[in-house]
Amino acid sequence: MSDTLANTTITITPKAADKVREFIAAEDDGAEVLRIAVQGGGCSGFQYALGFDEAPAEGDAVIEMHGVRIVVDPFSLPYLSGAGIDFVDGLNGTGFKIENPNVVAGCGCGSSFQMKDGEEPADASADSGDSGCSTCASH
């Protein structure tokens, strides 16, 4: 397991870090880290998965910023290079928002995205987006 994200910069705003600490404190299951992953899915090919975990797993990259430990699995790490995590609270919704410079296109509702260079998810079970996003259609 690496101690830092040596070749990858992932940042978190102080506001997002405050929310992570608040949510971790409310968990009853021993959660101590924020886990971020990129998975195949959604109408655009990829989607983010955020959750809390007890500790980093073998092979995870770990970064600590503003008192929060963030862990990323080896598959997701290249897709998150340069990404920033914020917490937004506004008319368009409340929750964590990831600004990722590797994203070139996204779903209308923001639940999935496409990466640079036409990269495909390893578990390419997602469709091409031609059928439309069921999440977007429900808005």
Conformation bin of residue 91: beta by default, left when phi > 0, alpha when psi is -120 to 50:
alpha
DSSP 74-113: TTTGGGGTT-EEEEEEETTEEEEEEE-TTEEEE-TTSS-E
Provide mean pLDDT across the span 9-15: 93
Each residue's pLDDT tens digit, 59-99? 999 999 999 999 999 999 988 889 999 999 988 788 998 88
pLDDT of res. 113: 64
- Which token pair is 51? 């959750």
28 Cβ contact list (under 8 Å, min separation 6): none
What letter does residue 7 receive in the DSSP assignment? T
Please give the CATH topology (third level) of the domain spanning 11-122. Hypothetical Protein Aq_1857; Chain: A; (2.60.300)
0.85 surpassed by pTM: no
pLDDT of res. 51: 93
